Structure formats: structure tokens, C-alpha cells
Amino acid sequence: MIKRTPHRLLHDPSRVIAKPYLPGEEIAPGVGARAGLLMARILAIPEAEVATMLARTLDGFRTRHKGFEALLERHFALVAHHAGDAPLSRERRLLIGAYFTNEYSVEGAALFNPSIVPAPNQTGLLPGQRRFVMSLRAVGEGHISSIEFRTGVVDAASTVVFDGLGKQLVTGQRSSPAHYDKTKFREKLGELGAGNELAWGVLDGLPDRFTIEELDPALIRLAQEGPPQAISYETAKIMHVLASSSYVTTFPEDSALSERVIFPAGPHETHGMEDARFVRFVDDDGSVTYYATYTAFDGYEIMPQLIQTDDFRSFCISTLSGGAAQNKGMALFPRRIRGKYVMLSRRDRENLHLATSSEVGHWDDLSELREPGPPWELLQIGNCGSPIETPAGWLVITHGVGPMRRYALGALLLDLDDPRKVIGDLPRPLLEPDESEREGYVPNVVYSCGAMANGDDLILPYGMSDAAVGVAIISIPELLAKLQRPD
């Protein structure tokens, strides 16, 4: 019923991005902030030495990053206010940009927890072939998680072939969304504990669909004309953080998908973007959108987030709201059911739940779907990605946690018309970590964030102990036969 393939995707420390490096703004006694001190030292370098140091830097790093000189110019612009008004040569600007840049190995620690979907572009293939996109959770220095991608082709026999990897990773250009919905913004503020008269006063002065350019002046007026800062500061901060948690990130058109890294950009993501569950969603009118749910983590609290894309080049990121969107492990069904969006979730971190909504970004209606049952999942149960539609029902790959915090995968079958009904389950694990899979960053774990049907087979990529990614092929008819309960 299940066959492991030889594939092993391992973390590669050589896959690096160049990101802004801004020294801490701590004040040195009697002299000022570190960034200002560093800028003063750079400005004091003789011009001839600037040229020599820049040439050495370009020689050492140009081939590691796309558009390296333009990148240094952008990073210079971030700190240009420390340089004063004196004109600077292009060489000095680039060198300043280099001092305020550092390489970051996005996979330096681990690579795991994949999800897989059919790619948007299926042209140029042989009969029986399908192109796929796989997302992965990459972890680097400081345990910061980002989202990476792999691409490849699977044929009619479910032979999986991965494309080669581009070596020059790129991060997206961030921009603010076109607008914010005032009603949803108000609801989320309430969930964050910032629902008060000050916040409502700011929102009352904004249109129903407002922009960041309209919000920021309103927050400045609150600081200048409102109550003392000791009272207004926290409200203004939370409102700005909430707005900054929704953004658009767009990648260069000439970059390969495997070179694109969605690196944390929102204030709730300072410690990472965890476990993206991608799904190809087909709406009632036949339109296709790719969604992914993930968990933003700032080191203290989590925030459920939603990614939306049509082409895997431009990604719209927003915050999920509502009482049913308050924890980890949400996975969207691939279509509406009875006119509503449906989502698997785990609100209490132990049981599997099901939520429905008329809006993809707001979730309130919630019902419990399943409690932990067999001993191998007694600690907690959750989903391993979006359900797969079959004639027999919705196939859900699950994960369960048992003794020694050992993770194993299982499966459920839900009713097609009413997925609140569990119509089949497995009494024993579908996939457990074998001896070659149990050692890693987090031992004794197999875990997935999403599978893809390919004819009668299920292509299931899975993380093994947070150290690598493997691929298993599962016979859907054989699995359904084990899941279907006798009448």
C-alpha cells in the first residue's frame, strides 16, 4: 500500500540570501548608536581604499547573489540617513551597503515539513506527466523558519523527478496591500486585546477600505493630539503591527521558483514562518487560486496567516481572524462545500476540528471532528495538509503523537457532503519513522504538510525528524479499502 522512494532532500548551508544587517541601536556611552558609529568609520575610509575594499567584496560575493550591486544600493538606502547630506561616490555607497549586509543560510539548520500541489503551468509535458510545486520549511541561524520551493515532474507511474536547483536565492520585494477592510481589522484588534476607545476612534476616521498611507497619519495624530503616550502607545503599536502583518511579496520575473525564499517580513514573523500547507483551490466558477495557511511566530506568540497566489511569483499575505483561527495546523479544503469554505484546524492543540466560513480570511464556526484515540496518537492529533477528494470521501492524512513524543502518520475518511462526519479511520499508523529516519534536529518524527493525488496514487512528501525530506507513494484504492467501514 505504501512505498518509500529513494529521494532525500537534505538541508544545504550553501543556499544563502543577502539580507540587511542593521547593528543594534544600543547607545554606546557618550557617543551614540552603533549604526551611526559604523557609518562614521566608513565615511572616514580614504577613497582609494574604498575602491580596493569594494572590488574585493564584489569579487567574493557577486556570483552568489542575483543583481548584487543593485542589492547593495538598496541596502545603502536603508541607512542613508546616517550618512548626512554630503555627496558620496557610487563605490562608497556600495561599500556602505556591503557593511550593512550579511549572508544568511536559510537551510543552515534543517529542511523539512513539505507540501505538494500541481503547478500552475502544465504546458510542454509528455502524456501522463504533471508538473508539481513543493513547499518546504527551511530553518537557519536563530531557528528562524522561512518558506522555500522545489519543482519537478511526476509521470503516470508516479515516478518523481526533481528539477535542478538554482544557486542564487532571492527574497521578494515587499509592499503594502492595496487596502485593509475596516470591519475585519476591528475584529482582529479585539482578538489581540486592543479593542478600546482609542483604537475605535482611529478607525472611525478611516474609510471602510483604507490604506497604510491613511492609517499612518491617523496614528501620528493619536500620538500628537491624543492622551499621554503612556496611554496611547500600546494601542498605536498594536494597530501598526497588525497592519504590517499583511503585505505582498513579489519576486523577480527572471528567478526560478526554487530560488525564491519567502523570508519573514511581518512583525509577528521575527522567529519564522512555520509549516505552510499549500492547496490548489478551485472555486465554484472554475477559477483557481493557490492558498496556504502557516503559523507566524515572534518568539512569544503565534499568529495564523494566509498566503494567496496565482503564479508563485507574487504572494499576498494576510492575518486570519475569528474564533476558529486561533491556533496552529489549519488546512483549507480544495473547494467550497455547500457554498462555504471549509478548514481543518486544531484549536486546542490536542483534537482535530473543522471550521466553515463564507470568507476565506475569517473563521468563526467550529466543531470538533476527532479526539486522539489509539495509543500511537494519544498525546495529540492533527492534520498533514489539505484533504484529498476521492469518490469515497475526503481523504485526510493525519499525524499523531504517542510515547516519547514520537510522531506517526495516520488517515481519516470524511463524508463528501458533510465533512463533519468521520466515516473511516486507520487503527494503526500509515507511516512511522524507521531506523533511517528517526535521527535529526527533532528525533522520532515523520510529518507532512500536504499530499497530491496522481491517478490512483497519493504522492506524499514528508519530513523525517526535521533533518530531511522523503517521498512516499501510497495506493489510494488500497488505503480507501482499509478506511471504509462496513455498514
In a 13 Å sphere around the CA of 222, the CA atoms on its Cβ side amount to 26
- Which CATH number belongs to the domain containing residue 275 in this structure? 2.115.10.20
Say if 306 falls within a structural domain.
Answer: yes
Give 27's pLDDT tier (boundaries 50, 70, 90): very low
The 3-state DSSP class for residue 248 equals strand
> Whole domain around residue 55: which residue ranges?
22-99
Report which of 119, 61, 167, 96 is spatially closest to residue 310, judged by C-alpha positions.
119
50 and 149 within one domain: no
Task: For residue range 461-478, list pLDDT tens digits in order.
Answer: 999 999 999 999 999 999
Segment 142-167 shows an average pLDDT of 96
User: What does each C-alpha distance from 137 to 28, 320, 457 come to in angstroms?
Assistant: 38, 20, 24
The average pLDDT across 383-399 equals: 97
Distance in angstroms (rounded) separating the CA atoms of residues 20 and 203: 33
Q: Is residue 367 part of a domain?
A: yes
Tell whether 238 is covered by a domain. Answer: yes
Residues 6+ apart with CB under 8 A from 69: 58, 62, 94
380 and 235 in a single domain? The answer is: no
- Among the three residues 222, 244, 266, which one is the final residue of a domain in this structure? 244
Tell me if 16 is assigned to some domain.
no
Lowest pLDDT segment from 26-40, 83-97, 226-240: 26-40
- Taking only the tens place, the pLDDT of each residue in 309-362 is 999 999 999 999 988 888 788 999 999 999 999 999 988 889 999 999 999 999
Domain-terminating residue out of 192, 209, 244: 244
Whether 164 and 193 map to the same domain: the answer is no
CB-based burial of residue 231 (10 Å sphere; 0-12 exposed, 13-18 middle, 19+ buried)? exposed
> What's the rounded mean pLDDT across residues 191-204?
91
Are 251 and 239 found together in one domain? no
Residues 253 and 375 in one domain: yes
Assess contact for 466 and 9: CB atoms under 8 A: no
Predicted pLDDT at 273: 96
CA–CA distance, 310 with 455 (Å, rounded to integer): 24
Domain check: are 110 and 129 in the same one? yes
| Number of separate helices (H) and strands (E) present in the chain | 9, 33
* Mean pLDDT across the chain: 93
406 & 474 share domain: yes
Read off the C-alpha cell for 218. 491617523
192 shares a domain with 204 = yes
Domain edge (last residue) among 99, 122, 137:
99
Residue 17 lies in a domain: no
Say whether both 216 and 317 belong to one domain.
Answer: no
Task: Report pTM.
Answer: 0.93
pLDDT over 60 (residue 218): yes
Is there a domain that residue 235 lies in? yes
Number of domains in the chain: 3
The reply to whether 149 and 168 lie within a common domain is: yes
User: Is residue 28's pLDDT more than 80?
Assistant: no
Is 216 found in the same domain as 294?
A: no
Is 348 part of a structural domain of the chain? Answer: yes
By residue count, the chain amounts to 487
Residues 360 and 439 in one domain: yes
